[in-house]
Chain A
Amino acid sequence: MALSSSLVSLGVLVGVFGLLALGLNVKFGYTGLLDIGHVAFFLVGAYTSALLVAPPASTQQFGDYILGWSWPWLPAIAVGTVLAGLLGLLVALPAIRLREDYLAITVLGISVILRRIVQSEGWLANGPDSLRGYPLPLRELFPLPGSDLVSALLFGLIIAVFWTVIAYAIARWLGERDGVGSTVVHGAVAVTTLGVGYVAGRLATRYETVGNPEPIDVRAAPDVRYVIAGGLVAGVVAVAGSVAGAGTVVLVAFLGLASLFSWLLGGVLLAAYFSGVDRRDVGMSVGLALAFVVAFLPVILVGGLAGIFGTVLLLAVLVYGLFSLGTGWEAVESSVGFARLIGMAAIWLFLLRYFVLSLVTPLTFRGVGAALAELIQNVLWLLKFTTAGVQFDYVRFLLALTFATVAICYYLLEVTVDSPFGRVLKAIREDEDVATSLGKNTFAFKVQSMVLGSAIAGLAGGLSAIHYRALTHTLFAPRVTFVAFLILVIGGVASNRGAILGAVIYWAFWKGTTDIAQFFPPSARSSVQALRLAVFGALFIVILYYRPEGILGDKGTQTGGGS
């Protein structure tokens, strides 16, 4: 599988687990409810949606399960979400008035019971085998562009949404940069909104002065209007193109540009985040990334026991070097922190792996042409190049769907935690008696927090049912809860951005290190795979020790407070 497809499915996984962690964040991060059975709600959401959309069991050749009502996905996921929320309510009630450790034990118990039920009750969800054979939403319309009108309309919708997002991003983020001239930004907005939307929007607003355009503020109502208008025009063009048989051209034009733009935007955002970095820091981070790659050369080139020994030795040297660099960081006179340097090195490593190392195999076995094709595929990651032509395949659609769901939930949760409601939750986390003494019904708020967090986990479960395509009980083992906790603590407790970042770090590490094992002899592979968990555990301890509030966490809101 091409690397870009791995990246896309990694994105889906990040979305599902990011959502799961967001739900846990409501309960644990903001309200201080220790819920170590979070996976129970994930399970309920997944199985409920899957059972509702599945066709009747009698029409299936593998296995037995209840319901099978062939519902559409949207109501099925909604019901799954609501049921997970109601389960959260039921579980919370007996335990929530007691001390919080009772809640933890109760929910852990429920999660194990539910998993056992789907494992052992064959009539319920085909346990202990997997529940499979349920249809995926809109699957039959892919790959796009298709031939019929429905597929053309879906195509138009997707292009419209993508394009609106891009135009918004250009106006919002590029418009704020000092380095990028506002004229350039205006030009870019005019082009991305396909002129029409831009001119319409400009006519609607009167404040433009010739030669000195004011910065675009898409958060203001008039400016966001032409962004949406541009998206709509793009959608109409896509529908027309698809019906006229020129769908591929439209696809490459819009989504190819979108792919390029995603790299540009990523670069701009990263440059802003790492502003104040001098050349030496860049050099050092590139050096770290290269040193990591070089450490694997012995095992790849030499092989055998000597190779493994050499790699392990080099890795040890690297870890020791990092350790001494970290402890003596003040002496380095660097403009960025040590953690940021590591972050930068990780990004270089990703770029190296994605753009350079991915070309090695095609270059050695199939020549320059294949390597070039691989490079184009990796750069234009939103498109899938197949022998049948350029397509927008189902996984990429799933990524967009997950991304949109997470974005909506993220927005709602940010509104929630910034609202007076969120303030009460935080107050309960800090000191419940104070909240009570000020007349807040802490019981009702804790229950609401439980319901909201569980419902979001249920929604994540619904998405996971689409992503996994078949559900087994092992996917909902208690460790999933702890993965969510790990994600939360790494990214930053009581930070929604942190929950997403934590999911990115966890899964990027997990998937990024999967292929390391292939360099080792078969007998050692499972040990190497298992060792990754140990490395991640070590990383967890380092973060807890040096930055207990997590990467994006707020110093004042680390759990347990402390004055």
Chain B
Amino acid sequence: MALLEVRDLRKTFGGITAVDGATFDVEEQTITGLIGPNGAGKTTTFNLISGFYRPDSGEIRYDGTDLQEIMRPSRAEQEIWVTAAGVGVGGLGLATAAATGGSTLALGVGTVVGAGVGAAAYFGQESFRATVLEEKRHRPFQVARSGLARTFQITRELQGMTVLENMMFAPQDQRGEHLVNAWFRQGTVDEEETAIRERAEEMLQLLEIDHLRDEYAGNLSGGQRKLLELGRVLMTDPEMILLDEPMAGVNPTLTKKLLERIETLREEGYTFCIVEHDMDVIMNLSDTIIVMDQGRKLMQGTPEEVRSDERVIDAYLGG
């Protein structure tokens, strides 16, 4: 079974059909290249797979699970809404009981019943929206949490934070991200921070930007930002990484190093899907290449097959 299955994916923006029935698979522990002319729908496909856009139709399955299932409300979100609905309607219940001049018992009952009604209303509307309205869910962070991470075509670094902070931000499920732990279990959080800092420093050394560790990310050059973004996504410990033009603006020596690094990571079990316009890179690196044109998959095959395919030469590579 493929790690990522995309079936008949469709997305329109106004009159433009950006992705028009794309269907392809990405096998586990492979490097898949995604190429095509400008406007072929590569980045939109990435945005759909990573959950940032809601598809008009079609299905994406990651690791055998539908993306819609992955993007279900998190526990934290449910807690927040239940608390809010409970407090809000419970408060109304209390006020009603008080206004009608009830006893202490009536006040308590009013509050509890109100809170219950509020919580029930939340769950009711959630299931109504999911089953009756068939609304597409939109929680991209859940996709990243399930191990499918992405980078952006135009780098988006956290400018007001240092390079090291950018890196340390990425790991999942840090204990210190819970306020209670941050306040009352500082020892545990500190230990974890030390471990994360070590990992981040290693990653920075690997990417050769460790001399910039205390620099604000906003002061970095374009190529350095690409490296930072790659390092950051690796820090999240993903299984599959969507890289949108990772080599653009990176110097040749470092490109070579990055390619080696990606190869090594593949050996270690990572899966990559890469959009890249540098044909040398994509041909050398990829196991499989998917060629897209006008929102559709033109063909899928090994680099040799792609290189010799007439349609691809016409549409993209040129004679």
Contact = CB atoms under 8 A, between A and B. Distances in A.
Interface stretch (A37-45, A282-290, A352-360, A437-445): A437-445
A557 B158 CA distance: 10
Contact of A563 (B165, B168, B177, B219): B219
B160 A415 contact: no
Contacts, number: 130
Given A426-B158, A438-B169, A419 B176 contact: yes
Contacts of B211: none
A204 B103 CA distance: 60
Contacts of B182: 415-416, 419-422
B158 A437 contact: no
B177 A424 contact: yes
B186 A415 contact: yes
A434 B174 CA distance: 17
A438 B183 contact: no
Contacts of B165: 423, 426
A525 to B, nearest CB: 45
Given A420-B193, A561-B159, A563-B219, A433 B52 contact: yes
Contacts of A433: 52, 152, 156
B144 A436 contact: yes
Interface in A429-479: 429-431, 433-444, 447-448, 452
Given A561-B218, A563-B218, A424 B169 contact: yes
Given A416-B182, A424-B169, A437-B50, A90 B144 contact: no
A556 B179 contact: no
A423 B169 contact: yes
B29 interface: no
Interface string B118-161: 00000000000000000000001110110001111000111111
A86 interface: yes
A556 B216 contact: yes
B77 interface: yes
A434 B156 contact: yes
Interface string B170-194: 1010111111001100100100010
Nearest to B88: A90
Contact of A439 (B84, B157, B158, B236): B236
B141 A442 contact: yes
A118 interface: no
Contact of B158 (A416, A419, A434): A434
A441 B160 contact: no
B16 interface: no
Interface in A539-561: 554, 556-558, 561
Contacts of A416: 179, 182-183
Nearest to B235: A438
Given A426-B160, A430-B159, A438 B176 contact: no
A40 B179 CA distance: 24
A89 interface: yes
Contacts of B80: 89, 93, 443-444, 447
Interface string B21-59: 000000000000000000000000000001010000000
Interface in A404-425: 412, 415-416, 419-424
A146 B238 CA distance: 67
Contacts of B218: 556, 561-563
A51 interface: no
Given A89-B80, A427-B169, A415 B177 contact: no
Contacts of B151: 437
Contact of B183 (A412, A423, A434, A558): A412
A557 B161 CA distance: 7
A437 B158 CA distance: 12
A90 B158 contact: no
B212 interface: no
Interface string B232-245: 11001000000000
A415 B50 CA distance: 33
Nearest to A94: B84
Contacts of B232: 438
A557 B160 contact: yes
Interface string B57-99: 0000000000000000010110011011001100000000000
B168 to A, nearest CB: 7
Given A90-B87, A439-B149, A420 B176 contact: yes
B144 A556 contact: no
A439 B141 CA distance: 4
Given A438-B170, A440-B141, A419 B52 contact: no
A395 B168 CA distance: 46
A447 B82 CA distance: 13
A494 B216 CA distance: 15
B150 A437 contact: yes
Given A437-B150, A441-B76, A443-B77, A86 B87 contact: yes
A114 B193 CA distance: 43
A441 B159 contact: no
Contacts of B172: 439
A558 B159 CA distance: 10
Given A89-B84, A434-B156, A436-B140, 6 more contacts: A420-B169, A420-B182, A421-B176, A423-B169, A556-B160, A556-B216
19 contacts: A86-B87, A90-B84, A90-B87, A420-B182, A420-B193, A423-B161, A426-B160, A431-B158, A433-B52, A434-B156, A437-B141, A438-B144, A438-B169, A438-B170, A439-B141, A439-B236, A444-B77, A554-B160, A562-B218
Interface of A: 86, 89-90, 93, 412, 415-416, 419-424, 426-427, 429-431, 433-444, 447-448, 452, 494, 554, 556-558, 561-563
Interface of B: 50, 52, 74, 76-77, 80-81, 83-84, 87-88, 140-142, 144-145, 149-152, 156-162, 165, 168-170, 172, 174-179, 182-183, 186, 189, 193, 216, 218-219, 232-233, 236
